[in-house]
Amino acid sequence: MISDHEDIGIGSFACAFGDVECKPDNIPDFEALWETVSFGTDFAEMGCTTYRKMSGPVEEYVVDAVRRTLRDAGASAADIDHIVFATSDPTLARLPSDFAGRVLLAVGLDDCVPHVVSFQRCCSSLTALRHGHELFSDPEVTHVVVVAVDFVPHDRDRVLSYAVFGDAAVSCLLTRDDPGLVRLVSCAVKVDPDGLRGRDSFISRKNVADRTLAAVLRAGDRQLGQIAKVFAANLHKPLTLFNGTSVGLLPDTLHFVETLAAYGHCGNADWMINLIDYHERFGIRSGDTYLAQSLAPGFYACGLFEGSAR
C-alpha cells in the first residue's frame, strides 16, 4: 500500500503502561518456569529487567491514552470521526463484549465509529494504522484515533522463550491537513504459512520478512539505506538483532533496547512505544525515513514513515 493521502499527519502518540512495575524473576517459581520454556538459554540474554502489569480494567488504560492524545493535539472528543482498536488475537478474546462502548462513553466520543483490527497477532496495529488512514477516503473525515492495546492476565503466561510480555495501551491521532509528527509512506503485512502451522524456520521467516520489507520500500520508492531508524518489536534481544540484520538492517539503526528492558514486549504496541521513546530521546527529524517493524509466528508487517516538517 502506498499512501494516497499525503495531507494526513500522524502524531500525539500517548502511552498508558500497566501501573504496577514487576520483575520477571519475582514471578513464583520463575526459574522452573524459565527452564520449561527456554531451550536452555540464559534469561539474562533476553534484555528485559522489568515489565508493567495493569491492575485495573483494560479500558481505563485505553481511556487514559486516548484522553492524553486528544489533549496533546488540542482536539475535542467531538472532533473524532473514527477510533480503530488494534489488538493481538489472545487479547481480543479477553476484551469485554462492551469494550468499545465503554471507551466511547468514557471519553465522550459521541459521534465516533469504533473499529477493531486483529487476527494478525502482534502485526495488527500496523494494519490498523493503514485502515485508519484509508478512512480518510471519505472527504468528511478529519480525525481518526488508532489505539494498540495488549495485556496478559496471568503472570506465568507472560514468559516465553522469545519474549516477556508486558501490558500497555498506546494511542495516536491521524489528522487531515496537519503535519503531525510523521506521515505514513507505505505499509504492508504478509503471511508465512509455515508459521501459521507452527513449522516456521529460518528460511520461512526470512522469506516473509524479505517480501514485506521489499513491498514497503518499492511502494514508498525508498532504498534500505535511507532508513534512519527502525522501531522494532521488543523480543528477546539477540533475536531482535538477528531479525534486523537478517534482512539487511544495521544493528545500530534498531531502537528497542531501553524499552525492552523497562516494559518487555507489549504485543502489537511495541513499534509505537519505540517511536515515542526515540522521539523523546532524540527527536523525529523532518524528511527522514523511519521503519516500524512487527512480527509474529505466521506474520510480518512493516510501515514506512517520513518525519513531518513542523
Q: Tell me which residues in 153-192 interact with another protein (CB under 8 A).
A: 161-162
Q: Minimum CB separation from another protein for residue 215, in Å?
A: 16
Q: State which residue, 57 or 248, has the beta carbon closest to another protein.
A: 248
Q: State which residue, 39 or 225, has the beta carbon closest to another protein.
A: 39
What single-letter amino acid sits at 61?
Y
Q: Binding of another protein at residue 236 (CB under 8 A)?
A: yes
Q: State which residue, 147 or 227, has the beta carbon closest to another protein.
A: 227
- Per-residue b or e along 112-147, where b marks 16 or more CB atoms closer than 10 Å to that residue's CB: bebbbbbebbbbbbbbbbbbbbbbbeeeebbbbbbb
Q: State which residue, 29 or 45, has the beta carbon closest to another protein.
A: 45
Q: Minimum CB separation from another protein for residue 209, in Å?
A: 9
Q: Tell me which residues in 15-44 interact with another protein (CB under 8 A).
A: 39-42
Q: Minimum CB separation from another protein for residue 65, in Å?
A: 32
105 Cβ contact list (under 8 Å, min separation 6): none
DSSP-assigned letter for residue 224: G
Say if residues 256 and 232 touch (Cβ distance below 8 Å): yes
Q: Minimum CB separation from another protein for residue 290, in Å?
A: 20
Residue 17 gets the label, from left (phi > 0), alpha (psi -120 to 50) or beta, of beta
Q: State which residue, 74 or 198, has the beta carbon closest to another protein.
A: 198
Exposed/middle/buried for residue 297 (C-beta within 10 Å: 0-12, 13-18, 19+): middle
Q: Which stretch binds another protein (CB under 8 A): 148-156, 196-204, 282-290, 296-304?
A: 196-204
User: What's the rounded Cα separation, in Å, for the pair 308 and 144?
Assistant: 18
Q: Binding of another protein at residue 250 (CB under 8 A)?
A: yes
User: What's the rounded Cα separation, in Å, for the pair 85 and 69?
Assistant: 14
Binding residues for another protein, per CB under 8 A? Answer: 39-42, 45, 161-162, 201-203, 206, 210, 236, 238-239, 241-242, 245-248, 250-251
